[in-house]
Amino acid sequence: MKADAKQITHLLKPLRLLLLGAPGSGKGTQTSRLLKQIPRLSSISSGDILRQEIKSESTLGREATTYIAQGKLLPDDLITRLITFRLSALGWLKPSAMWLLDGFPRTTAQASALDELLKQHDASLNLVVELDVPESTILERIENRYVHVPSGRVYNLQYNPPKVPGLDDITGEPLTKRLDDTAEVFKKRLEEYMKTNEPLKDYYKKSGIFGTVSGETSDIIFPKLLNLITSKFG
């Protein structure tokens, strides 16, 4: 992975960004790089929240596990309540807040519910970007992906391998392969994603805040994403 340009310490207005992209498209990687590049930016990931719930074996976590193991997306009401509560708890429902959403909303129903909440606090989304990555690239990534479950750290045996095979770089604990990280399960997830993503894209296109960046690797996509942000927010 190439080193990123110098940090962006000032934007002309607060950025509230939603990253869209198929499972395995690299939303987590792009989020990590943006947080380093724009220090004032914070993030919330539906995937991270769900992993925390699953680890704690909460009612939500157990219900989510059932859907994930079958390669299905979570129902609207299950994820919407969790995300909106977390936004409020973090104090991000204000005009000056700068944040990035990863993995939510995924349907027009979720998007509409989120918009209504944000408008009440004058903190609406002002940029939505889709990461456009070929399906063949995504399936190759998934076959080589392993995770450190307690932290959510993700490794890829091809382009981001652990320093010691099978072990997390920080803790030395074993890495595991998620139940849904197989080509068979992921093809189902990609099919479901495409069904819900087209209406969601249309929803945000109407608001005039939608854009797309395309590429096969993080190093190709990230400069395009950063250029899009700086062109609109300075």
Question: For 21-69, how does the pLDDT look when each residue is reduced to its tens digit (9 = 90+)?
Answer: 888 888 888 988 999 999 889 998 877 777 877 888 888 788 888 888 8
**pTM to 2 decimal places:** 0.76
What the block records as the tokens of 77 is 């009401």
Asked if the structure places residue 213 within a domain, the reply is yes
- DSSP per residue, 90-153: TT--STT--EEEES---SHHHHHHHHHHHHHTT----EEEEEE--HHHHHHHHHTEEEETTTTE
Question: In this predicted model, what pLDDT tens digit does every residue of 190-216 receive, in sequence order?
Answer: 888 888 889 999 999 998 999 999 998
Asked if the structure places residue 7 within a domain, the reply is no
Between CA 107 and CA 151 the distance in angstroms is 27
Which residues are identified as catalytic? 27, 106, 145, 178, 189
Question: In this predicted model, what pLDDT tens digit does every residue of 146-203 receive, in sequence order?
Answer: 999 888 788 888 878 999 999 999 999 999 988 777 778 888 888 888 888 899 999 9
Question: Residue 157: its pLDDT value, please?
Answer: 86
For residue 156, the enclosing domain spans 16-233
How many structural domains is the chain composed of? 1
Asked if the structure places residue 149 within a domain, the reply is yes
CATH number of 219's domain: 3.40.50.300
Asked if the structure places residue 2 within a domain, the reply is no
Asked if the structure places residue 5 within a domain, the reply is no
Q: How far is CA 32 from the centre of its chain?
A: 10
Q: Hey, which bits of the chain come out as E strands?
A: 16-21, 42-45, 99-102, 127-132, 145-148, 153-156, 210-214
Asked if the structure places residue 70 within a domain, the reply is yes
